[in-house]
């Protein structure tokens, strides 16, 4: 059952996918469904003895293309809709113990190619309004499978957070005739204290208004609406930026740092978002120290107001040092 | 240091409170700073041998009334402001092992009185734009102290989530000349399947568009903007509704259920919110099953889109049964 219900108080869709309740939950390593299928072994999701990067449809999908009309008719106030869309799994490697941070720049470069390809392909579907590329990493963030993988959701609507960002950027464009993200990036470059890595085409920084202590945004320097619009050099430099940042994250506390990674970019179909959407990657690690997590509780979930314990200038300094340390 | 920074992409304030990094974190029970002070024992936050209900200022405040001007000047795009406001702790009982669910209806009734009093008093301060009464319960939700307590934030701004709700209710009022929440409540009453408890003046239900599997909203039946506006009978019935719902929550899986409890009501100062703000309490338990938690990860945090594994009609049925079971 894949169904959408409208929340008229927050004016957003909520997606229901009841079969997900039974999804595979932290299986022992020898039963990982994302491993390659060993000769004579149990059949995993990938019927091959080895693989490079694999994309397949999520077996416990939040959205499906052929979702039927909802059983619940809803009301004028609370309409419902079929949960039509696509949810894909992207396996980064056939090595169960690998992480994105430890992969070669070359493999990450290939992954960028896969992400760009999926953005184009899913974005071309009329059911999909927004292609959302993300990774949930680490048990602290609630991953149910440890095998290195990310996900791609093709939402049938523009989700609330990117929508808010796009509205802000559109208003900024109208008021100042410039791109909000370009202007923010210019301020970060001019200030410099929150820059974590500055490559040729991408800059990684802790935003002045970070919601998480070690939050990092990776901005394309050029105002390009989506990952599909990046040229060869930019794709290579994005891989390099991730290959700088992620080992730095792991060096920060001396363990593989959990995080949520998300990509914000142009919605697909509908109006033109050039000069408004500006491709960038956002990382939210849940740790506020090596031992302590930042929980999203009353103020964050019930009021929507983030309270942060550490200043971006301080955490950016730590992260810069960690990135340097990881290089050595 | 209490400082606000403006996020121009989400158009919301982020609060920084750096001293909170060192706050007391899950101390052993014998060193609980919220216990009464024993004769000859170490001095706790309450210099008395016993107490009923106590309210005091948070020692690690997210906001303070005399916050100084920020060190960071910010920019036109990312302004800063002093983190002025009030953050209070409400001790529900001097019994370290108690929970709100286990307290007498009479004590909860007294607590309602305290909440109403604090709403009025904090709301009268010119620094405070919104009084937010909440409780984070359970380690799963990140509590740092187990002693039964709630919190009250007097924000210097209307926080994003209540703001969104108020805007939706205002637009609904203009379009239909009725209260959004009254209309939603009427639909829940007419349908009936999601009602968990129906008292004389308050109704508890799983909303049609619940974001968490066991989310429950407790609505005042009368369109009253804030807890301070409740009359005697209504206050008694609110205490009764909580005394029905909370033991039901604990009966659901047979353990003290973690939750975030928040109250949404009228902002204080400024314009009149009669007929727009409608006092209600929202509960978000993080559990999706007895053993598994609903994590806020990529889709929820990075896209703002909730994916829910269980249908409100099903969880409401379970909760109704649990409430009945707890009564016996």
Binary contact (A208, B74; C-beta < 8 A): yes
A185 — phi, psi (to 5°)?
-65, -40
Please state the pTM of the whole predicted model: 0.96
In the numeric block, which tokens belong to residue A157?
């609507």
User: 3-class SS at B113?
Assistant: helix
Model pLDDT for residues A1-30, shown as the tens digit of each residue: 899 999 999 999 999 998 776 777 778 888
**Inter-CA distances, A327 with A98, B104, B252, Å:** 19, 60, 51
**Given B19, B96, B146, B149, which residue is catalytic?**
B149
Nearest by CB to residue B302, choosing from A20, A161, A302, is A161
Mean pLDDT lowest for which of A13-27, A49-63, B77-91?
A: A13-27
> Which residues in chain A are closer than 8 Å to B208, comparing Cβ atoms?
5, 72, 74, 78
Helix axes B180-191, B160-176, angle to 10 degrees: 80
User: 3-class SS at B71?
Assistant: coil
* Range list of β-strands (E), A18-128: 54-57, 80-82, 86-91
User: How close B286 gets to chain A, by Cα (Å)?
Assistant: 10
Binary contact (A302, B165; C-beta < 8 A): no
What CA–CA distance (Å, rounded) separates B257 from B250? 5
User: 3-class SS at B116?
Assistant: helix
Instruction: Please list the residues that pair with B137 across neighbouring strands.
Output: B259
Binary contact (A260, B301; C-beta < 8 A): yes
What CA–CA distance (Å, rounded) separates A227 from A224? 8
Helices and strands (DSSP H and E) totals, chain A: 5, 13
Helix axes B232-253, B312-327, angle to 10 degrees: 100
Nearest residue in B to A24, CA atom: B292
Nearest by CB to residue B160, choosing from A5, A13, A305, is A305
Residue B92 predicted with pLDDT over 90: yes
> Which residues in chain A are closer than 8 Å to B78, comparing Cβ atoms?
184, 187, 208-209
Nearest by CB to residue A21, choosing from B162, B260, B310, is B310
Nearest by CB to residue B302, choosing from A16, A134, A209, is A134
Percent of chain A at pLDDT exceeding 90: 87
User: How close A280 gets to chain B, by Cα (Å)?
Assistant: 12
CATH number for region B24-59+85-327: 3.30.428.10
Answer yes or no: B149 catalytic. Answer: yes
Binary contact (B208, A155; C-beta < 8 A): no
User: How close B94 gets to chain A, by Cα (Å)?
Assistant: 23
Nearest to A209 by CA among A188, A189, A224, A223: A188
In the numeric block, which tokens belong to residue A90?
């992207």
Exposure string over B270-308, b if 16+ CB within 10 A, otherwise e: eeebebbbbbbbbbbbbbbeeebebbbbbbbbbbbbbbb
Model pLDDT for residues B195-250, shown as the tens digit of each residue: 999 999 999 999 999 999 999 999 999 999 999 999 999 999 999 999 999 999 99
Mean pLDDT lowest for which of A125-139, A169-183, B16-30, B167-181?
A: B16-30
Query: What's B232's DSSP letter?
Result: H
Model pLDDT for residues A282-326, shown as the tens digit of each residue: 999 999 999 999 999 999 999 999 999 999 999 999 999 999 999
In the numeric block, which tokens belong to residue B56?
């005091």
Binary contact (A75, B8; C-beta < 8 A): no
- Per DSSP, the residues of A123-150 read HTSTT-SEEEEEEEESGGGT-S--SSEE
Residue B21 predicted with pLDDT over 80: no
What CA–CA distance (Å, rounded) separates B216 from A276? 38
For residue B317, what pLDDT band results from cuts at 50, 70 and 90? very high
Nearest residue in A to B62, CA atom: A307
Contact B247, B101 (CB under 8 A): yes
Binary contact (A10, B293; C-beta < 8 A): no
User: How close B104 gets to chain A, by Cα (Å)?
Assistant: 24
pLDDT at A42: 87
Average model confidence (pLDDT) for chain B?
95
What CA–CA distance (Å, rounded) separates A326 from A244? 8
Task: List chain B domain ranges.
Answer: 24-59+85-327
Binary contact (B302, A282; C-beta < 8 A): yes
pLDDT at B209: 98
Strands B2-7 and B12-17, bridge-based pairing:
antiparallel
């Amino acid at each position: 059952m894949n169904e959408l219900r409208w929340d008229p108080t927050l004016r957003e869709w909520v997606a229901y996918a009841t079969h997900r309740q039974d999804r595979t939950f932290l299986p022992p390593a020898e039963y990982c469904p994302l491993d390659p299928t060993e000769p004579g072994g149990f059949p995993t999701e990938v019927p091959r003895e080895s693989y490079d990067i694999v994309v397949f449809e999520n077996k416990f999908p939040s959205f499906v293309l052929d979702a039927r009309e909802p059983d619940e008719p809803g009301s004028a106030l609370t309409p419902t809709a079929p949960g039509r869309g696509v949810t894909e799994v992207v396996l980064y490697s056939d090595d169960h113990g690998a992480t994105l941070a430890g992969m070669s720049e070359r493999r990450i470069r290939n992954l960028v190619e896969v992400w760009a390809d999926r953005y184009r392909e899913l974005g071309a579907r009329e059911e999909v309004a927004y292609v959302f590329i993300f990774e949930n990493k680490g048990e602290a963030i609630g991953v149910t499978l440890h095998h290195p993988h990310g996900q791609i959701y093709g939402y049938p609507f523009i989700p609330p957070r990117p929508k808010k960002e796009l509205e802000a950027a559109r208003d900024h464009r109208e008021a100042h005739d410039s791109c909000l993200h370009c202007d923010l990036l210019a301020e970060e470059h001019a200030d410099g204290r929150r820059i974590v890595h500055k490559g040729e085409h991408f800059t990684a920084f802790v935003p002045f208004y970070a919601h998480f202590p070690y939050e990092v945004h990776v901005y394309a320097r050029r105002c390009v609406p989506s990952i599909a619009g990046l040229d060869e050099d930019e794709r290579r430099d994005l891989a390099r930026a991730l290959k700088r940042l992620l080992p730095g994250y792991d060096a920060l506390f001396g363990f593989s740092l959990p995080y949520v990674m998300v990509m914000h970019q142009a919605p697909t179909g509908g109006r033109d978002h050039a000069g408004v959407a500006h491709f960038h990657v956002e990382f939210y690690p849940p740790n506020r120290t090596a031992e302590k997590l930042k929980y999203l509780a009353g103020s964050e979930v019930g009021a929507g107001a983030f309270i942060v314990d550490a200043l971006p200038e301080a955490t950016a300094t730590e992260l810069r040092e960690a990135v340097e340390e990881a290089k050595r």
